[in-house]
């Protein structure tokens, strides 16, 4: 029996290599701008200008901007914020003890191969490594059914539909494992 998928022709699209998250730097500017033009990214976040040039050069204590790499190749982006401190107050009035995550894969050939799941699991672990964090929020667009399924598989629970500016979104929440809210 051969175990070589190339020989057998049964290469699984879901077999994936390990993903590493590293801090984004100003050197990632062109990459992030390129990803902003990819259809799956536009479909998920519209054409909002994230002011990469300014933001990549700026360090704050309420945000982590991370590049996901597979075998040294950058494939996607994750941002983790503390929504109670974030300057634009995007999430409105919110208690301390939350984190909010944005995620996208910019390289189209890296979609649907399990990398997003790895990225999210690592981002979740980073959030809950801080013992004061009780829950993580995400806000996919109302129409992004695949992202809803993605978050639900990771354990996120529907909270409510909500408009952020002109965007109709669904808010999902993941409570700290073992907390009363998670066991409810
Ligand atoms: C959402 C996303 C990060 C998931 O990463 P991924 O590596 O593609 O996903 P995985 O292989 O780990 O898991 C597969 C699941 O991801 C989701 N997914 C896959 N491709 C997707 C796409 N183009 N758009 C949205 N979700 C997608 C689906 O739930 C899929 O499961 P399904 O095949 O049953 O529909 C990635 O698909 C992506 O960047 N999509 C575009 C941007 C986006 O929607 N970001 C979330 C906005 S809040």
- pLDDT tens column, 80-101: 999 999 999 999 989 999 999 9
What does the alpha-carbon distance between residue 17 and residue 60 come to, in Å, rounded to a whole number?
31
Atom number, ligand 1, closest to the C-alpha of residue 115? 7
Nearest to 37 by CA among 89, 86, 107, 91: 107
* Predicted confidence (pLDDT) at residue 47 exceeds the cutoff of 50: yes
Instruction: Give dist(CA 147, CA 69) in Å, integer.
Output: 20
Residue 4 has pLDDT above 50, yes or no: no
Does ligand 1 have an atom closer than 6 angstroms to the CB of 169? no
Q: What is the pLDDT of residue 184?
A: 66
Which residues 6+ apart lie within 8 Å of 184 measured at CB? none
Atom of ligand 1 nearest to the CA of 147: 26
Q: Which residue has the higher pLDDT, 9 or 89?
A: 89
Confidence at 145, pLDDT banded by 50, 70, 90: very high
Strand order in the sheet with 63-70: 19-23, 63-70, 73-81, 98-105, 135-138, 167-175, 157-164
Residues 141 and 47 sit within 8 Å (Cβ to Cβ): no
Report the pLDDT value the prediction gives residue 48, as an integer from 0 to 100: 83
pLDDT for 8: 41
Could you tell me the pLDDT band of residue 11, with boundaries at 50, 70 and 90?
A: very low
Question: How would residue 9 be classed by pLDDT, with cut points 50, 70 and 90?
Answer: very low
Residue 136: pLDDT above 50? yes
Cβ–Cβ under 8 Å, residues 62 and 82: yes
- Indicate whether 14 pLDDT > 90: no
Separation of CA 130 and ligand 1 centre (Å)? 27
Distance 1 CA to ligand 1 centre (A): 34
Taking the centre of ligand 1 as the mean of its atom positions, its distance from the CA of residue 129, in whole angstroms, is 25
Q: Ligand 1 atom closest to Cα of 40?
A: 41
Integer Cα distance of 104 and 67 in angstroms: 10
| pTM score of the predicted model | 0.91
């Amino acid at each position: 029996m051969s175990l070589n998928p190339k020989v057998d022709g049964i290469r699984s699209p879901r077999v994936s290599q390990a993903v590493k998250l590293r801090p984004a730097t100003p050197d990632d500017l062109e990459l992030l701008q390129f990803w902003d033009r990819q259809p799956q990214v536009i479909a998920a976040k519209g054409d909002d200008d994230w002011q990469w040039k300014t933001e990549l050069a700026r360090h704050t204590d309420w945000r982590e901007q991370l590049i996901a790499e597979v075998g040294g190749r950058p494939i996607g982006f994750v941002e983790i914020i503390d929504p109670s401190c974030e300057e634009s107050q995007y999430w409105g009035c919110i208690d301390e003890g939350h984190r909010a995550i944005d995620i996208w894969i910019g390289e189209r050939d890296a979609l649907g191969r399990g990398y997003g799941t790895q990225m999210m699991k690592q981002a979740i672990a980073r959030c809950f490594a801080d013992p004061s964090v009780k829950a993580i929020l995400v806000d996919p667009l109302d129409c992004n059914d695949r992202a809803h399924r993605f978050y639900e598989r990771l354990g996120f629970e529907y909270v409510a539909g909500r408009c952020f500016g002109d965007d109709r979104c669904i808010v999902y929440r993941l409570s700290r494992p073992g907390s009363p809210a998670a066991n409810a």
